[in-house]
């Protein structure tokens, strides 16, 4: 799988979803915080994980049938995320220290919580704990990738019957969350949520590998491509806008359908998503998730100390500047942290695993 082939509309969708999550974090401090759509932007986290599941499956599912490749794969995922993750925590510690000097109080009051965040273990904690509420997405992708690797080794993605069992598992998780069939803790609900989203994305790859489904999608997009894409985009936007109660549990299904439709660059919307600007959003998706809270946290600190009524309007007016700063910081993080560490990672992995070919990280 070449890097060029991987640059498809789904990369832009992942970047847009990440930017939407970052925007939602900021708007919760503004006059728009009570708008239902703003509160529902957290559903885009499922979209990010669905896309991650698809990309990991497409890049690694065949290679991971050999258990000897799990070691390289697991290490590559950890090293892929760790540098920017650690840099983000270091920036937070600096900001938190300044906050303590100003007011005598900060966010970091529990070393165990800090250690869990540093070690990507926050997915096993209450969702409200930790320095970056969206960092659980990165931890989720990391742990789900490892689970996926073992599933591939066991043949779960290679056999049609096994894929049907996994589809059944995903559907069961979604129904449990949707109808409250069992009493779930916030941690259990979070674990089930990310499992359903990641494996829904991975199973989309298995589905499009079917010649019948692939042929059907090509015919549909050839004859009605623009209409289908427009309908799916509007339906997905409407779902995020109008979702209430436990309806958000079906997000993996909704986003999986959107993913399938935009896998082929056949119509106007897909071509637009394949443009260089939106593709760059895809490149910045992980940095956006990791760096945006460096800006949100100081604003939240000021709101807590000086009152929402005083700062809501100024923060609302600063929203465009916030988005520009998020993109600028993300670009800097990519150029000076992510790219250099990725090159170093590949050089080290090639020495440590000389007999294994390189796959997309």
CA distances from 23 to 107, 118, 168, 265 (A): 21, 24, 34, 28
Give the closest residue to 226 by CA, choosing from 179, 261, 177, 181.
Answer: 261
**Torsion angle in degrees (nearest 10) through CA of 85, 86, 88, 92:** 140
pLDDT at position 108: 61
Is residue 95 within 8 A of residue 101, CB to CB? The reply is: no
Q: Where are the alpha helices (DSSP H) in 3-134?
A: 3-6, 9-27, 36-40, 44-60, 70-103, 111-118
Burial 140-173 (b: 16+ CB within 10 A, else e): bbbbbbeebbebbbeebbbeeeebeebeeebeeb
Radius of gyration of the CA atoms of the chain, in A: 20
Q: Which of 92, 79, 89, 96 is nearest to 116 (CA)?
A: 89
Q: In angstroms, how far is CA 359 from the centroid of its own chain? A: 20
Report whether 117 contacts 135 (CB < 8 A): yes
With a CB cutoff of 8 Å and minimum separation 6, the contacts of 142 are: 77, 78, 81, 120
Q: What pLDDT score does 225 carry?
A: 66
Tell how many helices (H) and how many strands (E) occur in the chain: 17, 0
Query: Nearest 5°: phi and psi at 358?
Result: -80, 140
Q: What is the DSSP letter of 338?
A: I
Name which of 91, 3, 68, 44 is nearest 330 in CA terms. Answer: 91
- b/e map 292-330, b = 16+ CB within 10 Å: bbbbbbebbbbbeeeeeeebbeebeebeeebbeebbebb
Q: What is the DSSP letter of 265?
A: -
Find the helix packing angle between 211-242 and 251-261, rounded to 10°.
Answer: 130
Per-residue pLDDT of the chain (361 residues; tens, 9 = 90+): 334 444 578 888 999 999 999 999 999 999 999 999 999 999 999 999 999 999 999 888 888 877 778 888 888 888 888 888 888 888 888 888 887 787 766 656 667 777 888 888 888 887 666 677 888 898 889 999 989 998 888 877 777 788 888 899 999 999 988 887 666 788 888 899 999 999 999 999 888 766 666 666 666 666 666 787 888 888 999 999 988 888 899 999 999 988 888 876 555 677 778 778 888 888 899 999 989 988 998 898 889 888 999 999 999 999 999 999 999 999 999 999 988 888 887 787 777 777 665 555 5
Which pLDDT value is given to residue 223? 62
Cβ–Cβ < 8 Å for 14, 262: no
pTM for the full predicted model: 0.89
Q: Is 234 helix (H, G, I), strand (E, B) or coil?
A: helix
191 within 8 A of 273, measured Cβ to Cβ: no
Tell which residue, 205, 257, 204, 200, has the closest CA to residue 59: 205
- CA dist 275 and 103 (Å) reads 46
Written as six digits, the tokens of 53 are 């599941």
């Amino acid at each position: 799988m070449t890097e060029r082939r991987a640059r498809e509309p789904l990369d832009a969708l992942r970047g847009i979803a990440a930017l939407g999550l970052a925007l939602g974090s900021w708007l919760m401090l503004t006059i728009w915080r009570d708008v239902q759509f703003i509160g529902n932007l957290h559903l885009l986290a499922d979209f990010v994980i669905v896309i991650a599941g698809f990309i990991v499956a497409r890049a690694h599912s065949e290679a991971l049938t050999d258990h000897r490749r799990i070691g390289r794969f697991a290490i590559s995922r950890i090293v892929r995320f760790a540098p920017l993750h650690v840099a983000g925590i270091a920036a937070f510690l600096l900001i938190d220290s300044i906050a303590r000097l100003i007011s005598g109080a900060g966010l970091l009051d529990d070393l165990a919580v800090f250690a869990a965040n540093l070690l990507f273990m926050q997915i096993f904690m209450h969702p409200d704990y930790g320095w970056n509420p969206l960092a659980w997405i990165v931890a989720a992708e990391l742990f789900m990738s490892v689970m996926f690797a073992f599933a591939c080794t066991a043949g779960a993605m290679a056999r049609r019957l096994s894929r049907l069992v996994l589809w059944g598992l995903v559907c069961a998780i979604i129904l449990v969350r949707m109808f409250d069939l069992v009493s779930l803790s916030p941690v259990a609900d979070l674990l089930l949520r990310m499992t359903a989203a990641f494996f829904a994305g991975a199973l989309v790859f298995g589905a499009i590998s079917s010649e019948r489904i692939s042929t059907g999608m090509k015919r549909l997009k050839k004859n009605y491509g623009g209409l289908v894409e427009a309908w799916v985009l509007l339906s997905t936007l409407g779902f995020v806008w109008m979702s209430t109660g436990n309806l958000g549990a079906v997000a993996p299904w909704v986003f999986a359908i959107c993913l399938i439709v935009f896998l082929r660059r056949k119509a106007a919307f897909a071509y637009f998503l394949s443009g260089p600007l939106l593709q760059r959003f895809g490149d910045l998706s992980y940095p956006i998730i990791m760096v945006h809270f460096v800006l949100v946290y100081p604003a939240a600190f000021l709101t807590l100390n000086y009152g929402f009524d005083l700062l809501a309007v100024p923060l609302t007016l600063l929203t465009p500047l916030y988005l520009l700063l998020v993109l600028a910081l993300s670009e800097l993080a990519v150029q000076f942290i992510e790219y250099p560490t990725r090159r170093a990672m590949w050089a080290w992995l090639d020495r440590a695993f000389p007999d294994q070919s390189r796959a997309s990280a």
